Amino acid sequence: MGLEQVKKEIIDNATKTADAILVEAKQEAEKIFDETKKTALEERKKADTHTSDLLLTLERREIAAAEFDARKMMLDAKKELIDEAMKQAAQKVMSWNGKKRESVMNTLTEKAKKDLDLAIIAANPKDKTYVKGFSFEEADIQAGMIGRTKDGRVSVDYSVDEMLQTIRSNNLAEIGKVLFE
Quick check: 158 and 146 in contact, CB under 8 A?
yes
Which conformational region is residue 144 in: left (phi greater than 0), alpha (psi within -120 to 50 degrees), or beta? left
Tens place of pLDDT per residue across the chain (181 aa): 577 777 777 787 778 887 788 888 888 888 888 888 888 888 888 888 889 889 899 999 999 999 999 989 988 888 888 788 888 888 888 788 788 888 888 888 888 888 888 888 898 888 888 888 888 888 888 888 889 888 888 888 988 888 888 887 887 777 777 777 7
Question: Of 144, 119, 143, 145, which is closest to residue 133 (Cα–Cα)?
Answer: 119
Angle at 115 between CA 82 and CA 100, to 5 degrees: 55
- Please give the model's pTM, rounded to 2 decimal places: 0.57
How many other CB atoms are there within 10 angstroms of residue 37's CB atom?
10
